Structure 1
């Protein structure tokens, strides 16, 4: 029998299969520009990007010449990101200029990541290399970044880069707003150096013998679940900083071992599992001499430091949450005394979400927040709510002098029928916009859409200049346009590869709940061919929208469709982008997310050629949990499942995420048992007949640890249920390794075809 790994691969293009291309390009993200910063004077746009095709490029941004000895690099496969600048002041128009090239700065040496930096990248799901992040001063005239634990700064006007002496390994360096100083974290200590490389000194460090205490870094729960990756913040006047103190000593230690290397010691991870102690997080105002004042709030009532903001608009702002996340407080900090004043207290009977870009001040000192009011997710400024149920606000992108830039999707109050603009009064018109995300300008008069056409749009803005990125359903990749006062002045080049296949997806809604769905059929299918075996390919849970109006989101589903499946992606209750009630309906009951997969499947079968006698499901992380849930709880619907990195036992997942939805395990053990795949007694609520399952897990995963899959496999074995286990040695919750990512797709297809009785 021919091995599936040695068989001719579909979509061969210059001997490159889609799985290999998908893996090699890191899901077609390599070569695409990202991480934009706009200078306040409107003259520069800073960003990171790998590529171009030849070498590192010249100072003008043009590709290097391979004839001059530059190494050839296949476009869109170079993992090493460089720092670039778009100069908008040139007499002939905008020009891209290379600012910093890691290969040059490291003299060709391989990049070596400190352990703390590896952990930061794992939390942010960053799988590439080089300059993946940077920070700037207030004028965006200087930038700081770390490479191999070394500290570098760039003078953006002069076009020069220098290494500063530092006590490494350097983590998260950040210039002061005036550009004279650079603060950075290292070995649990926050340090400060002058921009000329002199005067390096300690600003805050743990007490002697305080193993597990750090200054200037975010704790696991903040970086993994709250979207806060930072641990220090400069004052607008550059004379002091807010510095987080994290004490991980109360947190239980888990051990991540590499069974393939038994001689290597396991790695200790401070993991706050549901119901167990969190890290204790405090905050200090620290001046440039190291004198510090503790910031005071009721940490017993509000232990989570979710957000910190310090701008010229007013006092430092904190957003702190109760452990059950049903109460949170917006606090203003007095930097002199450390005392805090409560600006607003919010409560919700279910939970309160966190959003990017808030809290913040307007220029005239009003508090900006995103709130759930009247059944809608709305933008509020001061005491006024500026948007209604026609918009579902997702993030604040920029606060200007006269308006606020937000990311939003169509709310439940939107009217039916597509429009791509505003009505005569300047208010947004309702749309039928499955999977679309747009950029809006909001002021006292209402909201006006900035982005145009179906797609997923995002923006970065400063003053009159806006960088607008747009991914569309009918074209691969994204386009990045630079606008000045709404007029296009440049487009930033992308070196991302073009996929060897096209998504060709149908976006729709299904069932009484109008569940957002994407459907993909094999390109060779015709009306007379009959129904197709079905593969559901969801994430299907909180914070994971899969049904989006963007081409590249459906490349893997398209590849599975070309293997002979009708592929369905459905975003049921609990997924973002719909309404607060939609997201919060799954409180204490994750099984509703499975009910919606079934509802979408059956509704779509009335309109598409779906063979309900051959239905499989695959997923990763929450999607892996959902796939396992489907095979165990609904074998009447699902006939096989690929279960990737599943949360099999919710008692083993972290506090901030799990307790938001399921409460505390000691207080609600029945809720945890009902929502988990396994309990201490074995499988939880499994039904007959037993369906084949392929369990896949990275053994180096420190987010969803491999114990989840091992416990599930043991329970399946004890129950006599068929399953396969595919352990991925050295792989974390991501699978960036090229061969692993490619062959993982091929093995899944082989398993699914075997399990559904399809021709292999």
Structure 2
């Protein structure tokens, strides 16, 4: 019988906890030949993750990418990105997320790192700069970059507005095109980002959605300017005064005001074969709801290019599935569900192809 080992206090306190350093963000490549995952290497695994690949045929594991310059750390991320990480209970550093190009003919992988966006032409290749956060001249870095379904474009949020760039690498990075307006410089407003309430309580961490044909983007506009600020003090901070010693947030307390929201759809310039940098005018979805205090629980594009939205009342006792015409903003009710006690927000929705 093996001798028992005492658990040291250092082991109890460290992150990740003993035995819990497991692969995360597991996904198949579009062609199904590779299973990619994030993992911290070494016997004494820490929180700094790299991207690995399991070859399905040979069952061999290889390194796909290591983070340049330490990758993402708490010291080089914007406050908005740090808050998103908190709400997703994400503690890893290094490479913290990645995305496959959706095309089955492509092996390209997208990496958000330190507010910039990098592209890998194929697994294991050199990481090349796709977008430099300083190129737009605005604050913060790229948040939640997403490939378009056709793989030709990448959309992301920077400083509370949506941008789109082509997905091929150019020297110095692509020049981003801003496609929303009205939030930057307005305290309490944002475009393309899920608010604290939606992230923390409904587990929806995304605030914009590509259409299946890659010509439109649906996005959520959040307005919390009417919510009073709440100050959080950082007791014991290395800087007892100044910005590092406190944070001010417009916190939606129970029973008090919630953020207001609108859902808009924009048609992108490339849909018209245009290189115009004029910001498109959104079509706003008409919820026709006399009570503005509701949640946009889930958003899904439908096969006919209309927009499916789950509207949830504040008590979470009534959910309505709405189909929106994205050219007019008019809604049709497809399904309603009620429960006198509680309805949980879930990700069970699936599009089913119609029989030919």
TM over 0.5: yes
2: CA distance, partners of 1:333 / 1:86: 41
In 2: Cα distance, 1:29 partner to 1:282 partner: 44
For 1:251, which of 198, 215, 227 is the aligned residue? 227
**SS of equivalent residue, structure 1 residue 221:** helix
- Once residues 108 and 207 of structure 1 are traced to their aligned partners in structure 2, the CA distance between those partners, rounded to angstroms, is 29
Displacement of 1:339 = 2.0
Q: Aligned Cα RMSD in Å?
A: 2.5
Match of 1:173 among 134, 145, 155: 145
Q: Does 1:364 align with 2:320?
A: no
Which of 49, 57, 64 is the matching residue for 1:99? 64
Report matched runs for 1:476-515 at 5 Å. none
Deviation at 1:229, TM superposition (A): 0.5
1:137 aligns with 2:106: no
Q: 2:145 matched to 1:182?
A: no
Deviation by residue 1:92-126 (Cα, 9 ceiling, x = unmatched): x1332322211xx2278965121111101111111
The answer to whether the 8 Å contact 2:37/2:51 transfers is: yes
Alignment correspondent of 2:187: 211
SS of structure 1 residue aligned to 2:179: strand
- Secondary structure at the aligned position of 1:337 is classed as coil
1:24 aligned onto 2:2: no
Determine helix, strand or coil for the equivalent of 2:13: helix
Q: Distance in 1 between matches of 2:185 and 2:33?
A: 49
Instruction: Tell whether the 8 Å contact from 2:160 to 2:183 is kept in structure 1 after alignment.
Output: no
Distance 1:311 1:49 in 2: 35
* 2:312 corresponds to 1:338: no
Structure 2 matches for 1:466-615, cutoff 5 A?
none
Correspondent of 1:233 among 209, 218, 225: 209
Matches within 5 A, 1:293-308: 293-301=283-291, 303-308=294-299
- Larger gyration radius, structure 1 or structure 2: 1
Partner of 2:275: none
Output the CA distance in 1 between the equivalents of 2:198 and 2:255: 16
Deviation (angstroms), 1:202? 0.6
Specify every segment of 5 or more residues in structure 2 that has no aligned partner in the other structure, as ranges.
134-139, 270-278
Change beyond 3 A, Cα 1:311–1:95 = farther
The answer (yes or no) to whether the contact 1:317–1:359 under 8 Å persists in 2 is: no
Aligned residues: 325
Paired position in structure 2 for 1:348: 339
Say if 1:280 and 1:194 are closer, same or farther in 2 by CA, change over 3 A: same
> Take 1:28 and 1:300, find their aligned partners in 2: how far apart are those partners?
52
Match of 2:79 in 1: 115
Larger relative helix fraction: 1
- Looking at structure 2, the residues matched to 108 and 123 of structure 1 have their Cα atoms a distance apart, in angstroms, of 20
Task: Encode CA deviations 1:709-738: one digit per residue, 9 max, x unaligned.
Answer: xxxxxxxxxxxxxxxxxxxxxxxxxxxxxx
User: Aligned to 2:335, what secondary structure does the other structure show?
Assistant: strand
Q: Structure 1 unaligned segments of length 5 or more: list them.
A: 1-10, 54-74, 366-760
Aligned to 2:136: none
TM-score w.r.t. structure 1 length?
A: 0.40
Q: 1:81 aligns with which of 23, 31, 49?
A: 49
Retained in 1: the 8 A contact 2:192–2:221?
A: yes
CA distance in 2, matches of 1:209, 1:188: 9
Contact 2:81 2:143 in 1 (8 A): yes
Is it true that 1:201 corresponds to 2:167 in the alignment? no
CA distance in 1, matches of 2:336, 2:216: 28
Residues 19-60 of structure 1 deviation map (CA, whole Å, 9 limit, x = unaligned): 422332422466411212223432222221111x2xxxxxxx
Contact 1:177–1:236 (CA under 8 A) maintained in structure 2? yes
CA distance in 2 between counterparts of 1:76 and 1:300 reads 56
Q: Distance in 2 between matches of 1:48 and 1:32?
A: 9
Q: Which has the higher contact order (CA 8 A, sep 6+)?
A: 1
Show the counterpart of 1:50: 40
1:128 alignment partner in structure 2:
92
Distance 1:237 1:157, change over 3 A: farther
Deviation at 1:12, TM superposition (A): 4.6
Q: Does 1:288 align with 2:279?
A: no
Seen in structure 2, the aligned counterparts of structure 1 residues 24 and 217 have a Cα distance that, compared at 3 Å, is same
Match of 1:39 among 2, 14, 29: 29
SS in 2 for 1:21: helix
Q: Tell me by how many angstroms 1:233 deviates.
A: 1.0
Residue 230 of structure 1 aligns to a residue whose secondary structure is coil
